[in-house]
Amino acid sequence: MMTWYPLHLRYAAEMLSAVLENNHQSEDVVRRMVRLHPEWGKRDRKSILDMFYAVLRNLSYYRFIAAHTKIYGPTYETLLTVHLWKMGALQSDDDRWPKTVSRPLQILPSDTGCDNAIRLSVPVWLYDMHNGRDYDNDWQTMLQPSNLYIRVNRLKIDCYSLNTYFQAKGVATTLLSNDAIRIGRLYQLTSDEWYKKGGFEIQDIASQQVVPAMQIKPGMQVLDACAGNGGKSLHMASLMNNQGRIVSTDVRKEALAELRHRAERAGATNIVTAVVDNDFINMHNQAFDRILMDVPCSGLGTLRHKPELKWKLEPEHLQSLILRQREIIQKYLPMLKPTGSWVYSTCSILEAENEEQVDWILKHYSSFNIDFIRRISPSEGGDGFFITRFSQTA
């Protein structure tokens, strides 16, 4: 049984308002609230954050329930109350019922009258894109909290030593393949001494499968086309043992500044950053053995820890993302060596950003063939991802 107090609802409602009305990202809101409330203990923090994320994940379903019971009301406290009721943490005679919510006479015993889009809390337009075919399991999985994974940085420590270190500290871990460790309980990873020394990065298990698909080797010239703050660039440096060169580019200078900071902490000395313009492209014509295009996307594979994305995405935005992805491909492919290969990846589950983009690539770049393709479902334990490696036909 979860432990909660009326004050928890107030805090969680404030956070929901910040995300759904003021358009802030959930991760930023959580960091801000935790910083503003150092008085929160572990149980307080867990209770508040669990309720907050549960409502974000189940928003349309909880609204449906609220509208069909005596607890209907246009407040976030109403929806938080629905969650408590559904979890069995609130009874009819509980004196902690919020004053803004009437106590219910009954609550729906089933999903009667609730279609799949509402039950799975997916915007109807998004659900209807493929009529729910082959996606229901993914949507259902992403209603649950995410697992927590780290990637071991080989430049600083090996995975077995780090796993042993965590276990000696009483942290439940599972050692997985490819330098991945699953963390089994709440633990302040960013406060850990090995994190501060660059021994590991917090990175989802699905995201960790992108760079190995590139088949990079020490000494190669590699381009990370949409590097962001550098999670995959750091993975490249670890696998290349700092041999060769990684050029990490992004349109956001602040992201590249964060990348440089992370690279210094990780001991990744073969990473350089750059903002791409025409001069850069001309100087690097056919210069790279490998190119990664982890393109901007809807992020709909990451809903387990960024559930607000599905409520903020609009059809027009999705179409602009698809066009942007194609522009990136056209912009960066001239920098690939004729003997090189490149990877296209997204953290989306949508065919429009994945398989349909692959079809577009093969149609417009007939000299390429597919060496590797994989759709990673959230039901496998991590985020939803899509990875495809292309090379020139002989």
Q: Is the pLDDT of residue 72 over 80?
A: no
* 80 and 164, same domain (yes or no): no
CATH number of the CATH domain containing 194: 3.30.70.1170
Q: Calculate mean pLDDT across residues 319-348.
A: 97
* 385 and 242, same domain (yes or no): yes
Whether 126 is covered by a domain: the verdict is no
Q: How far apart are CA 30 and CA 53, in angstroms?
A: 10
* 242 and 192, same domain (yes or no): no
Q: How confident is the model at residue 112 (pLDDT cuts 50, 70, 90)?
A: low
* 172 and 320, same domain (yes or no): no
Whether 375 is covered by a domain: the verdict is yes
Q: Is the dihedral of CA 258, 376, 307, 298 positive or negative?
A: positive
* Tokens 């609130």 -> residue: 90
* 303 and 359, same domain (yes or no): yes
What is the number of structural domains in the chain? Answer: 3
Q: Is the pLDDT of residue 394 over 70?
A: no
Task: State CA 19 to chain mean position distance.
Answer: 16
Whether 29 is covered by a domain: the verdict is yes
Q: Calculate mean pLDDT across residues 33-56.
A: 92
Residue range 266-306, pLDDT digits in tens: 999 999 999 888 899 999 999 999 999 999 999 999 999 99
Q: How confident is the model at residue 131 (pLDDT cuts 50, 70, 90)?
A: low
- If DSSP states are collapsed to H, E and C, what string results for 22-55? CCCCHHHHHHHHHHHCCCCCHHHHHHHHHHHHHH
* Tokens 């203990």 -> residue: 41
* 242 and 194, same domain (yes or no): no
* 274 and 381, same domain (yes or no): yes
CATH number of the CATH domain containing 242: 3.40.50.150
- DSSP letter, residue 377: P
* 253 and 305, same domain (yes or no): yes
- The pLDDT assigned to 111 comes to 62
What is the span of the domain harbouring residue 257? Answer: 207-392
Q: Which of 93, 114, 135 is the C-terminal boundary of a domain?
A: 114
Q: Is the dihedral of CA 253, 179, 267, 202 positive or negative?
A: positive
Whether 135 is covered by a domain: the verdict is no
* 185 and 261, same domain (yes or no): no
- The pLDDT assigned to 333 comes to 96
Q: Is the pLDDT of residue 346 over 80?
A: yes
Residue range 173-200, pLDDT digits in tens: 999 977 999 998 777 899 999 999 999 9
Residue range 359-379, pLDDT digits in tens: 999 999 999 999 999 999 999
Whether 238 is covered by a domain: the verdict is yes
Q: Which of 181, 202, 223 is the C-terminal boundary of a domain?
A: 202
Q: How confident is the model at residue 238 (pLDDT cuts 50, 70, 90)?
A: very high
Q: How far apart are CA 361 and CA 369, in angstroms?
A: 10
Q: Are 384 and 302 in contact (CB under 8 A)?
A: yes
Q: Calculate mean pLDDT across residues 5-15.
A: 94
- The pLDDT assigned to 90 comes to 85
For 361-370, the CB contacts below 8 A with 24+ separation are 361/329, 361/390, 365/333, 365/390, 367/392, 367/393, 368/392, 368/393, 369/393
Closest CA to 53 of 80, 73, 89, 85: 80
* Tokens 């953290």 -> residue: 347
Q: Is the pLDDT of residue 106 over 70?
A: no
Q: Is the dihedral of CA 222, 227, 229, 231 positive or negative?
A: negative
* 190 and 231, same domain (yes or no): no
Whether 108 is covered by a domain: the verdict is yes
Whether 369 is covered by a domain: the verdict is yes
* 214 and 174, same domain (yes or no): no
* 109 and 170, same domain (yes or no): no
Whether 143 is covered by a domain: the verdict is no
Q: Is the pLDDT of residue 132 over 60?
A: no
Q: How far apart are CA 249 and CA 207, in angstroms?
A: 18
Average pLDDT over the chain, rounded to an integer:
92
Buried b (16+ CB within 10 A) or exposed e, 36-56: eeeebeeebbebbbbbbbbbb
Looking at per-residue confidence, does 90 or 325 come out higher?
Answer: 325
- The end-to-end CA distance of the chain, in Å, is 62
